[in-house]
Structure 1
Amino acid sequence: MKLLKTASLSVAALALATSVSSADTLDTIKSKGTLSCGVSTGIAGFSATDSSGAWKGLDVDMCKAVASAVFGDASKVKYVPLTAKERFTALQSGEIDMLSRSTTWTNTRDTSLGLNFAGVNYYDGQGFLVSKSIGVKSALELDGATVCIQAGTTTELNLTDYFKANKMTYKPITYDTSGQTIEGFKSGRCDVVTSDASQLYG
């Protein structure tokens, strides 16, 4: 496999989001006795379960840190795996108390979702992963490619912008989860997969 990175795609920031009514949210969390924390459905290094079923990774550690601050006990967390499509609805509906998963902080999301981004905890860029066998050395050589991509992400929007700006065409194959997207690529359903560069290394 070969990773192609392109600087013209926007840098993604992983952000922690909490509901707008912070005092009410904190009171609700305390009354429940546990923190419901939205995480990804499995991204190595960020939020994934190990062989014993325990959640591990940077996003998981953020959930533990908040639980420790609220309860004095980092174990008082209920992890709720969410796809990109599900994450904001789960936070808005109160299914989760906070979201700690790969989520690009955009102006549109900041102003239209009724949520507060608490801060950036990771900066990333977008890349393309291709098989060495197709002989591509640059993302500019992907005209006409079939691209596996996760639906409901800024990655999807960036892909459209990149191909349009470079007067290229592509055929998208969309999936609900990062794992499904990578498996689609591995099984040969597409020529290339695009995502956060950190996810492509996993």
Structure 2
Amino acid sequence: MFYLRNKLVALMVLLMAIFIFAACSSEEESSASTSDSSSNTLTTVLERGELVCGVNDNLTGFGVVNSAGEFEGFDIDFCKAVAAAILGDSSKVEYVPLTASARFEALGANEIDLLIRNTTWTASRDRDLGNDFTAPTFYDGQGMMVKASSGYDSIESMAGTTVCVLQGTTTS
């Protein structure tokens, strides 16, 4: 069962890698600057012989540096799969740890080839950033948890209640 699941995950990652670089090499882009940048990404990676991935290095399960000093996690495996699909070698990856505030600037400045860090795809980011979002790699959602004794049994019953969220996130 575990082996089958790993094969399925590997297949999904490979398909996503194909979509990413198909988008990067597309001749029909919405703007000239996006077209120039996107069409050059694949060429740059091939010429350099290495994929530069912007990652989170402090998000357990997605991207962390382990006790041996190596990157690991879902996002790291995704970068390895893209490198294997393009370069034929999953070890041809440079990981660039990025903060949430630095991730889009690094991508826009071509400091990285691929951003695979927890990043929510929103309409405003799609419109304002000039980057090509691809298929989501992870779906999440928002939820509420309250004490059973609180009396709340639905979102509607919380009307007028103060709710806290992390400022600067897509949840806020």
Coarse TM-score class (shorter-chain normalised): 0.5 to 0.7
Match of 2:115 in 1: 99
Distance 1:136 1:55, change over 3 A: farther
More strand by share: 1
Name structure 2 gaps, 5 residues minimum.
1-15, 25-33
After TM superposition, the structure 1 = structure 2 runs for residues 9-28 of structure 1, keeping only pairs within 5 Å, are 20=34, 21-28=37-44
Question: Is the CA contact 2:57–2:65 (under 8 Å) kept in the aligned structure 1?
Answer: no
Describe the shift of the 1:94–1:127 C-alpha distance in structure 2 as closer, same or farther (beyond 3 A): same
Task: Write 1 or 2 for the structure with the bigger share of helix.
Answer: 2
Following superposition, the deviation at residue 61 of structure 1 comes to: 1.1
Deviation at 1:126, TM superposition (A): 2.4
| Corresponding position of 2:170 | 154
Q: Per-residue deviation at 1:41?
A: 3.3
Flag the 1:26–1:59 CA change in 2: closer, same or farther, 3 A: same
Residue correspondence of structure 1 range 1-202 to structure 2 within 5 A:
20=34, 21-127=37-143, 140=158, 143=161, 147=164, 149=166, 152-156=168-172
- Structure 2 distance, partners of 1:37, 1:100, is 7
Runs of 4+ in 1 over 2 A off after TM superposition: 15-23, 126-130, 135-145
**Aligned letter for 1:82?**
L
Indicate how the Cα distance of structure 1 residues 31 and 148 shifts in structure 2: closer, same or farther if over 3 A, else same: same
The 8 Å contact of residues 79 and 116 in structure 2, kept in 1 or not, is answered as: yes
Q: Higher relative contact order by CA 8 Å / sep ≥ 6: 1 or 2? A: 1
Aligned partner of 1:65: which letter?
Answer: A
Superposed CA RMSD: 2.9
- Tell me how far 1:33 sits from its aligned partner: 1.9
- How far apart, CA to CA, are the structure 2 residues paired with 1:49 and 1:110? 30
1:35–1:142 Cα change, 3 Å? farther
